[in-house]
Chain A
Amino acid sequence: MNKMLKWLIILAVAGFAMMLTVKIPALGFAEASFCGRCHAMEEQVSTYLHSPHANAANCGDCHDPHGLITGSAFAAYTGARDVYRVVTNTIPAEIRTTNLSQKVIQDNCLRCHGDIMAVIGDTSHNGGSYCFHCHQEIVHER
């Protein structure tokens, strides 16, 4: 029993550490070169690479929460979900952001563009529009 517990703890610690690797830039798990390995992301990645954002932000900078724990947990969940969709061949024809994902992206818009938006504030405040409702094609198509 004691041995079992020991292994469980080791597994949990190792799993947690592996999850955190998403946030280690050198490993590139948030880079387009990693996300673009799936066919499903081809259109997004190839148009993103031609956008000005390609010089300043990678996929994870916009699509994952910035926090170390929250960001890596979110990425681990969405990453696992996406892998499941790919291996079971159930990728939706039209890939759309979830409600949670929209909030994550909005925060990340403001994290970099907070200066220019300082006066206007968070446009999504109290049922408002997200930045990308209008600026739809600014980073990648679809």
Chain B
Amino acid sequence: MSSDQIKKVLLIAVPVLLVILAAAIFLFNRNNDITLEGPQGEIAAHETDSSVWGRFYPAHWDSYQANNYNIDNPSHFDTKPYLQVMYAGTGFSREYNEPRGHVYSIEDVLAIDPARKKAGASCITCKSTQVPELMDKYAENYYLMSFDEIAGEVSQPIGCLDCHDPKTMDLKLTRPALIEALQRQGKDIDSLTNQELRSLVCAQCHVTYYFAPDSKKITFPWDKGLKADEILAYYDEKGFSEWVHPDAGTGLVKPRHAEYETFMNSTHESAGVACADCHMPYTRVGNKKISSHTWQSPLNNIEESCTTCHRNGTDWLIQRVKTIQSQVKQTQDIAGNAVVEAINELKISRESPEVDQAKLEEAMYQHRKAQWYLDYVAVTNGYGFHNPTETLNNLGIAIDSAHKSVQLAREARGLK
């Protein structure tokens, strides 16, 4: 071939090769694209009406609506009669029913016994998606307002805006008590990982708390740590009691649904599992998966919640959960009866004429401790499944402290 011919061949070959190369790169990259849907529409920054969000996210809305099927609200006293004795002197002793879930949060809180409404506006804090707005409106005065004042201003139950940023749909913390507790621990709120947030949005409400004495502000007692012993030490150091038991005379503190605290450091949590992994499992809806917004026991949708990781069969899994929960319930009942016995012994001792006051004080402290540890377990959902070993450990301490209280109370009035 002459150089002219070579030039001609190259003139055709080079562009052809370039086109093929460009096409190859284009096709490779196009196949490499991962098409994921972002936010589906513009939702107003303070949209508290969840049905507006639901128009853009119909599958999520359907699963949220399914919460309406949770219609049971049995009394805790039917299965745990000792609680009623323990709660004497508080509104809880009048009535303590299981609420029906997020969509009924306002209806249920309005229906509680008036004796329980004394705490005021704080009670509504976790019951309506409009609360952050009201907190902005009333600032620090929010907590000092009455139950009825705030109840009259809310109509939307727990919904989308409580956990989601309406612009990006990312998870977001909206309740100040959690944000402040995390900040006191030195955590940077803006650098929380998605997996942490998949638990922390729940921890805005599913935690224990108390009302700060003067401001009535909801405060998380986490400054010494998240565990039952560390929280009790926090209250002891402050000398804080929520009420005095009328029969036992003991100054007591009240734990509340400490699901998040209990779950921390459990087997599942330390393996990297978040609340949402079991309680809001990815669920197939048509040809898409969504994170289920039907909040319930994972046993109700075990094939989505458990069997994704645990391939041992649903019968075996249910059996494991039931075994753990029935063992916890049995131990909890033992502790409950022991605490009631301590209350009865304290009552007799206090009414006895010559009572050793120092011994009685000691007996009361053991009662405070026993009731704290038992109540911490009893008011936490899941009968210990969130952290079985820690739960049984707490119940062990409750039983031991109750027995010590009984012994000391008897000694205080001269019995052996």
Instruction: Known contacts A66-B31, A68-B24, A111-B32; decide if A118 and B277 are in contact (CB<8 Å).
Output: no
**B275 CB, nearest partner CB in chain A, Å:** 13
Q: Residue A116 contacts which of B194, B289, B291, B308 (CB distance < 8 angstroms)?
A: B289
* A120 near B290: Cβ-Cβ < 8 Å: yes
* B193 near A126: Cβ-Cβ < 8 Å: yes
Of all chain B residues, the one with the shortest Cβ separation from A129 is: B195
Q: Is A127 an interface residue (CB 8 A)?
A: yes
**B239 CB, nearest partner CB in chain A, Å:** 40
Q: Is A133 an interface residue (CB 8 A)?
A: yes
| Chain A 99-118: CB-based contact to B (< 8 A → 1; otherwise 0) | 00000000100110011111
Q: Is B284 an interface residue (CB 8 A)?
A: yes
Q: Is B300 an interface residue (CB 8 A)?
A: no
**A136 CB, nearest partner CB in chain B, Å:** 7
Instruction: Known contacts A67-B28, A134-B309, A135-B308; decide if A117 and B195 are in contact (CB<8 Å).
Output: no
- Partner-binding segment picked from B33-41, B177-185, B389-397: B33-41
* B287 near A122: Cβ-Cβ < 8 Å: no
Q: Is A128 an interface residue (CB 8 A)?
A: yes
Within A119-142, which residues are at the interface with B (CB < 8 Å)? 119-122, 125-129, 133-137
* A127 near B290: Cβ-Cβ < 8 Å: no
> Considering the chains assembled together, what is the distance between the CA atoms of A97 and B59 in angstroms?
35
Interface residues on B, range: 20 to 34
| Chain B 336-366: CB-based contact to A (< 8 A → 1; otherwise 0) | 0000000000000000000000000000000
Of all chain B residues, the one with the shortest Cβ separation from A65 is: B32
Return chain B residues, CB-CB under 8 Å to A117: 36, 289
> Considering the chains assembled together, what is the distance between the CA atoms of A117 and B35 in angstroms?
9
* B36 near A66: Cβ-Cβ < 8 Å: no
Q: Residue B309 contacts which of A107, A110, A136 (CB distance < 8 angstroms)?
A: A136
Of all chain B residues, the one with the shortest Cβ separation from A109 is: B34
* B277 near A115: Cβ-Cβ < 8 Å: no
> Considering the chains assembled together, what is the distance between the CA atoms of A118 and B277 in angstroms?
18
**A15 CB, nearest partner CB in chain B, Å:** 19
* B34 near A114: Cβ-Cβ < 8 Å: yes
Instruction: Known contacts A120-B282, A120-B289; decide if A134 and B308 are in contact (CB<8 Å).
Output: yes
Return chain B residues, CB-CB under 8 Å to A118: 35-37, 288
* B288 near A116: Cβ-Cβ < 8 Å: yes
Instruction: Known contacts A66-B31, A129-B277; decide if A119 and B37 are in contact (CB<8 Å).
Output: yes
Using CB atoms and an 8 Å cutoff, list the residues of chain A in contact with chain B.
Answer: 66-68, 107, 110-111, 114-122, 125-129, 133-137
- Could you list 21 examples of A-B contacts with CB < 8 Å? A68-B24, A111-B34, A114-B34, A114-B35, A115-B287, A116-B287, A117-B36, A117-B289, A119-B37, A119-B289, A119-B290, A120-B289, A120-B290, A120-B291, A122-B34, A127-B193, A128-B194, A128-B195, A129-B274, A135-B308, A136-B309
Using CB atoms and an 8 Å cutoff, list the residues of chain B in contact with chain A.
Answer: 24-25, 28-29, 31-32, 34-38, 59, 170, 193-196, 198, 272, 274, 277, 282, 284, 287-291, 308-309, 311
